[in-house]
Amino acid sequence: MLRLASKRLLGLATGEAASSRPVQILPRLYHENVIDHYNNPRNVGSFDKNDPNVGTGLVGAPACGDVMKLQIKIDEKSGKIVDACFKTFGCGSAIASSSVATEWVKGKSTEEVLTIKNTEIAKHLSLPPVKLHCSMLAEDAIKAAVKDVEAKRAKLNGSEAAPAEKAADA
Amino acid sequence: MASKLLLQTLTRRQPTTIIRRFSTAAAVATPPDYEDPSGITMKGVKISGRPLYLDMQATSPVDPRVLDSMLPYYLSRYGNPHSRTHLYGWESENAVETARAQVAALIGASPKEIIFTSGATESNNISVKGVMHFYKDKKRHVITTQTEHKCVLDSCRHLQQEGFEVTYLPVESDGLIDLDRLRKEIRPDTGLVSVMAVNNEIGVVQPMEEIGIGALYMRRRPRIRVEPQMNGGGQERGIRSGTVPTPLVVGMGAACELAMKEMEYDERRIKSLQDRLLNGIREKIDGVVVNGSMERRYVGNLNLSFAYVEGESLLMGLKEVAVSSGSACTSASLEPSYVLRALGVDEDMAHTSIRFGIGRFTTEEEVDKAVELTVKQVVKLRDMSPLYEMVKEGIDIKQIQWAQH
């Protein structure tokens, strides 16, 4: 009885009150860019970490709820990053931050990508203050990957690549 | 009666004056602006329809039979139960006393031992602080558990600030307390042992009958007395001042009566749904851990950890299932739940927990859909998880020196 009445009430209401709906402004939990990268993460995957042209950055800790693995593939001749991929254990913002990072490093030199700042990633994804550490982790992952590949190349080429490694540390 | 009137009004749609009387009700029933035929958009998330609900430990739908019992007290018998001078007051008082008897019958208490409050937080404040304040000259010590609800823990902390001593009893890895350990902690000046019967997060059932202390009602023999936490008109025998809301109390009474009649049936049915959910998930994926004892557990609760998958991202992908995360990430503290930590759950596993709550109105179809969506999402996130990849490669992730942030 009651159910029937309330159904009719609802039916009636949709017809009559559609024009006078109250405007509600709700706080957003995730920016659409975060949701986009979470739903369609770019460059998920792994490269062979023993490849001398691949740099691997593994940052974060399981106990903190975030672990990021970001890998870059360097073109031997030009030194540019030709490909990048990631795997992340973490919240949606951490996944989105690493997904964005892989997009941004492609086509750039290792020096250039070291200038990518966490603030830019945070801004792109409109991360709230509690999620800023996700973007910092992404920046750390880029730096760790560059450091790794440069150390590998230095080992292979002897003294030739040493200055590059110093630049990475600086 | 009331609904009949409503129905007649709406079908005939005349006289117009009566329609206007109900216009506020119609406005309330308007679908909110975040819903449209193509789906629902809220908090930046778009969902194809209303999610299926498996968060029954947060709150649950009202049984229509309960609502039926409440409605007259909203619409026609709306008297204040404390009014002494007219019929409205008398009939409300009767209704409140009937409800009190219904609640008492369910837990095997006397109606005089039931005090209506706004809810668990208030009840626990009255019990914990009220008892200790009343007996403060002789009793200076309280025992509780580390997995207790925040309202008990916070009341205890408040007592500590006032100079009382509090022992926070640790729990075993299954979430249960060790009775021998409890016995050892009891001292001559222990005034209160507060242990929750069913944990709200992990659903474990503590051995209450063996402690022998009632918590929700106030025993009269021997009489327990408390200092009131609310001062005012002296309602509820002076323990809880404030007007008793008749419709809500009537609803609680009706719910207790229904529970008494149907509890066994509900428990059997919900247990089968709990099994269906757990087995359904475990058939498809490995690395699923139940947090808390499986033997001594409230059947409507299933708190699961999914190894190598972070809880918040899992919830984000499970927008079509309304569940809670065991880790408090969403509440911005980025800390795993204190209940899971007290159980000794590894921190990384505590970050991966989800609480499924099953209720009287949950269907098999809903459980099956929840299994399907959960499995799909866990598989997707594991493909994306560096930890899962490392484990598959045979690396022991516990041996890695992680850089803690």
Mean pLDDT, residues B223-250 taken together: 68
Q: Is residue A26 scored above 90 in pLDDT? A: no
The CA distances from residue A23 to A18, A27, B32, B234, in Å, are 12, 13, 9, 43
Tell me whether residue B151 is one of the annotated catalytic residues.
no
Convert the pLDDT of each residue in B315-324 to its tens digit. Answer: 888 888 998 8
Number of C-beta neighbours around residue B147 at 10 A: 29
Q: To the nearest whole number, what is the mean pLDDT of chain B?
A: 80
Report the C-alpha gap between B314 and B323 in whole angstroms: 10
Report the C-alpha gap between B253 and B96 in whole angstroms: 8
Q: Which domain holds residue A146?
A: 32-156
Is residue A79 in a domain? yes
Higher local confidence (pLDDT), B341 or A124 = A124
Asked if A69's CB is within 8 angstroms of B386's CB, the reply is yes
Is residue A140 in a domain? yes
Of the candidates B181, B203, B374, B361, which has an alpha carbon nearest to the alpha carbon of residue B288? B374
What CATH number corresponds to the domain at position A95?
A: 3.90.1010.10
- Kindly give the pairing relationship between strand B39-42 and strand B45-47: antiparallel
Report the C-alpha gap between B326 and B312 in whole angstroms: 9
Mean pLDDT, residues A121-128 taken together: 92
Chain A residues close to B336, C-beta within 8 Å: 65
Task: Name B104's Cβ contacts closer than 8 Å, sequence gap at least 6.
Answer: B110, B111, B113, B114, B217
Convert the pLDDT of each residue in A73-122 to its tens digit. Answer: 999 888 899 999 999 999 889 999 999 999 999 999 999 999 999 999 99
**Greatest mean pLDDT among B76-80, B217-221, B228-232, B348-352:** B76-80
Convert the pLDDT of each residue in B90-128 to its tens digit. Answer: 999 999 999 999 988 988 888 887 888 877 778 788 888
Is residue A111 in a domain? yes
Convert the pLDDT of each residue in A34-69 to its tens digit. Answer: 889 999 999 999 999 899 999 999 999 888 888 999
> How far away is chain A from the Cα of B307, in angstroms, using its nearest Cα?
10
Quick one: pLDDT band at residue B352, thresholds 50, 70, 90? Answer: confident
Report the C-alpha gap between B191 and B226 in whole angstroms: 12
Cβ proximity of B279 and B294 under 8 Å:
no
The pLDDT, as a whole number, for residue B221 is 41
Higher local confidence (pLDDT), B235 or A132 = A132
Is residue A19 in a domain? no
Is residue A14 in a domain? no
Quick one: pLDDT band at residue B238, thresholds 50, 70, 90? Answer: low
**Least confident residue range of A122-126, B182-186, B191-195, B304-308:** B191-195
Cβ proximity of B140 and B134 under 8 Å:
no
SS3 label, residue A90:
coil
Report the C-alpha gap between B171 and B230 in whole angstroms: 33
Residues 341-370 of B with CB under 8 A from A: 346-348, 351
Asked if A29's CB is within 8 angstroms of B10's CB, the reply is no
The pLDDT, as a whole number, for residue A165 is 43
Instruction: Measure CB to CB from residue B26 to each of A9, A60, A90 and give the nearest one.
Output: A9
B29 alpha carbon, distance to own chain's centre = 27
**Greatest mean pLDDT among A16-30, B191-205, B276-290:** B276-290
Quick one: pLDDT band at residue A9, thresholds 50, 70, 90? Answer: very low
- Predicted complex ipTM: 0.76
Give the active site residues of A.
64, 134
Number of domains within chain A: 1
Encode burial over B279-301: b for 16+ CB neighbours within 10 A, e otherwise: ebbeeeeebbebbbbeeebbbbb
What percentage of chain B reaches a pLDDT higher than 70? 78
Mean pLDDT, residues A25-30 taken together: 50
Report the C-alpha gap between B353 and B4 in whole angstroms: 47
**Least confident residue range of B22-31, B135-144, B302-311:** B22-31
Convert the pLDDT of each residue in B122-143 to its tens digit. Answer: 878 888 888 888 888 888 999 9
Mean pLDDT, residues B360-371 taken together: 95
Asked if B389's CB is within 8 angstroms of A46's CB, the reply is yes
SS3 label, residue B388:
helix
* DSSP secondary structure of B317-354: H-TTEE-EESSGGGGT-----HHHHHTT--HHHHTTEE
Is residue A6 in a domain? no
Query: HSE-up of B72 (CA within 13 Å, CB side)?
Result: 11
Domains present along chain B, CATH in parentheses: 67-257 (3.40.640.10), 263-391 (3.90.1150.10)
Q: Is residue B219 scored above 80 in pLDDT? A: no
SS3 label, residue B71:
helix
Mean pLDDT, residues B215-234 taken together: 49
The pLDDT, as a whole number, for residue B335 is 65
Higher local confidence (pLDDT), B58 or B31 = B58
Is residue A24 in a domain? no
Q: Is there a cis peptide before residue B245, judged by omega within 30 degrees of 0?
A: no
Chain A residues close to B388, C-beta within 8 Å: 89
Quick one: pLDDT band at residue A159, thresholds 50, 70, 90? Answer: low
Residue appearing with tokens 């991202």: B313
Helices (H) and strands (E) in chain B, counts: 16, 12
The pLDDT, as a whole number, for residue B286 is 93
Is residue B387 within 8 angstroms of chain A, CB to CB?
yes
Report the C-alpha gap between B296 and B290 in whole angstroms: 12
Residue appearing with tokens 């593939």: A73
Report the C-alpha gap between B386 and A103 in whole angstroms: 18
Is residue A122 in a domain? yes
Report the C-alpha gap between B339 and B145 in whole angstroms: 10
Burial class (CB in 10 A: 0-12, 13-18, 19+), B332: exposed
Mean pLDDT, residues B221-246 taken together: 63
Report the C-alpha gap between B146 and B343 in whole angstroms: 9
Least CA distance to B67: which residue of chain A?
Answer: A2
A146 alpha carbon, distance to own chain's centre = 16
The pLDDT, as a whole number, for residue A144 is 95
Asked if A87's CB is within 8 angstroms of B386's CB, the reply is yes
Asked if A26's CB is within 8 angstroms of B42's CB, the reply is yes
Convert the pLDDT of each residue in B183-195 to its tens digit. Answer: 898 888 888 888 8
DSSP class of residue B230? B
Asked if B11's CB is within 8 angstroms of A8's CB, the reply is yes
The pLDDT, as a whole number, for residue B223 is 46
Instruction: Measure CB to CB from residue A87 to each of B327, B348, B389 and give the nearest one.
Output: B389
**Least confident residue range of B71-80, B123-132, B203-212:** B203-212
The pLDDT, as a whole number, for residue A21 is 36
The pLDDT, as a whole number, for residue B379 is 95
The pLDDT, as a whole number, for residue A10 is 41
DSSP class of residue B205? B
Report the C-alpha gap between B142 and B128 in whole angstroms: 9
Q: Is residue B381 scored above 70 in pLDDT? A: yes
Number of C-beta neighbours around residue A149 at 10 A: 28
